[in-house]
């Protein structure tokens, strides 16, 4: 006879009511992971907001200096462009240019710094689908762009001789979000491809900045030679700035048919194309899961 204390076994029937863990690879969250996206979005926003003097206010002040220089140098003697004062013409373009550059800077930093510091697993391991990861990161980039644009707009409101009161709020909202999303996707693609900060800086210097400066920010495209107009019409940043400017001054510097609608459709098409490329790169794990 065994004198050792007996351990009572639980009734096997109790196991029937115990929730079982899912099989490996079977997702528990079968719908959109809103809490996960929100957590990543808030984390990305807090990251750039902690250094807001550098990420929001500094770009706004730097862009404002462009307005000061160009209005002092070229805005005198009642100069007008497409029927509006020169300062009123370039102010919306400067706001949009700053928004685009900061959207790219924010999204191109996230995954790249994770790869360099070895913390990329913090983006890959959470239960977030690739689409959810993209929404959170691009959403944070758009948020930074909107904050920079709002800061710059407030500063321009106080600048004498510049009128930046909206004429079409819907155009400002649509083209502001579409333009910021476009550079947000491009920044994500860059952060996947880049292996060091020099690579991201090269994309900024040789792609983003030329596209922004050659997009009609400081001049009217309809005054250019026909061959250069064709080049400008192939620049997606031109459509973002043209549509955004239309939201402020109510007119456009374009000879194409239905310019505002064409600009919106072009930006939607570019965003879809960049979104597909970004999605496929993240799904493949190229340069992320090595």
Report pTM. Answer: 0.87
Residues of the domain holding 117: 31-284
Percent of all residues in the chain with a pLDDT value above 70, rounded to a whole number? 88
5 within a domain of the structure (yes/no): no
Q: What is the mean pLDDT of residues 75-87?
A: 79
Give the confidence band of 27 by pLDDT, cuts at 50, 70, 90: low
How many C-beta atoms lie closer than 10 Å to residue 141's C-beta? 31
Cα 247–251–252 angle (5° rounding)?
100
Phi and psi for 190 in degrees, rounded to 5?
A: -65, -40
Tokens of 66: 């462009």
33-68 pLDDT, tens digit per residue, is: 899 999 999 999 999 999 999 999 999 999 999 888
In a domain, 18, yes or no: no
The tokens describing 271, both together, are: 């965003």
Q: Residue 134: inside a domain, yes or no?
A: yes
**Residue 267 · residue 243 · CB < 8 Å:** yes
| Number of compact structural domains in the chain | 1
Residue 170 burial (CB count, 10 A):
9
Are the C-beta atoms of residues 263 and 243 closer than 8 Å to each other? yes
Q: How far apart are CA 127 and CA 112, in angstroms?
A: 20
Phi, psi of 160 (to 5 degrees): -65, 140
pLDDT digits (tens, 9 = 90+) for 199-246: 999 999 999 999 999 898 988 888 888 888 888 889 999 999 999 999
The answer to whether position 19 is within a domain reads: no
Whether the CB-CB separation of 280 and 190 falls below 8 Å is answered with: no
Compute the distance between CA of residue 138 and CA of residue 185 in angstroms, rounded to an integer. Answer: 7
Q: Please check whether residue 13 lies inside any domain of the structure.
A: no
Residue positions counted in the chain? 290
Which runs of consecutive H residues, i.e. helices, occur in the chain? 34-49, 52, 58-74, 86-117, 121-124, 130-157, 169-193, 197-203, 209-213, 226-233, 236-249, 259-284
Assigned domain for 276 exists: yes
According to DSSP, residue 17 is labeled G
With 0-12 / 13-18 / 19 or more C-beta atoms within 10 angstroms meaning exposed / middle / buried, residue 177 is: middle
pLDDT band at 77 (very low <50, low <70, confident <90, very high): low
Does 263 fall in a domain?
Answer: yes
Does residue 109 lie in a domain region?
yes
């Amino acid at each position: 006879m065994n004198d050792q204390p007996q351990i009572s076994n639980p009734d096997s029937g109790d196991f029937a009511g115990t929730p079982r863990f899912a099989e490996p690879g079977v997702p528990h969250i079968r719908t959109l992971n809103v809490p996960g996206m929100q957590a990543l979005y808030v984390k990305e926003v807090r990251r750039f907001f902690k250094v807001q003097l550098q990420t929001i206010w500094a770009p706004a002040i730097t862009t404002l200096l462009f307005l000061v220089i160009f209005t002092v140098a070229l805005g005198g003697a009642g100069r007008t462009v497409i029927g509006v004062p020169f300062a009123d013409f370039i102010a919306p373009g400067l706001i949009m240019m700053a928004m685009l550059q900061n959207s790219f800077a924010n999204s191109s930093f996230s995954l790249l710094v994770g790869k360099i510091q070895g913390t990329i697993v913090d983006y890959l391991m959470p239960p977030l689908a690739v689409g959810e990861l993209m929404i959170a990161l691009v959403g944070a980039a758009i948020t930074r762009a909107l904050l920079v644009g709002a800061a710059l707009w407030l500063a321009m409101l106080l600048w004498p001789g510049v009128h930046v009161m909206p004429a079409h709020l819907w155009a400002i909202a649509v083209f502001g979000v579409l333009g910021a999303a476009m550079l947000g996707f491009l920044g994500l693609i860059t952060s996947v491809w880049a292996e060091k900060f020099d690579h991201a800086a090269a994309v900024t210097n040789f792609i983003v900045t030329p596209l922004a400066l050659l997009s009609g920010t400081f001049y009217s495209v309809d005054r250019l030679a026909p061959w250069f107009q064709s080049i400008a019409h192939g620049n997606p940043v031109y459509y973002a700035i043209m549509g955004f400017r239309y939201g402020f001054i109510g007119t456009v510097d374009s000879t194409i048919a239905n310019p505002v609608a064409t600009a919106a459709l072009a930006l939607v098409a570019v965003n879809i194309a960049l979104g597909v490329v970004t999605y496929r790169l993240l799904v493949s794990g190229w340069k992320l899961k090595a």
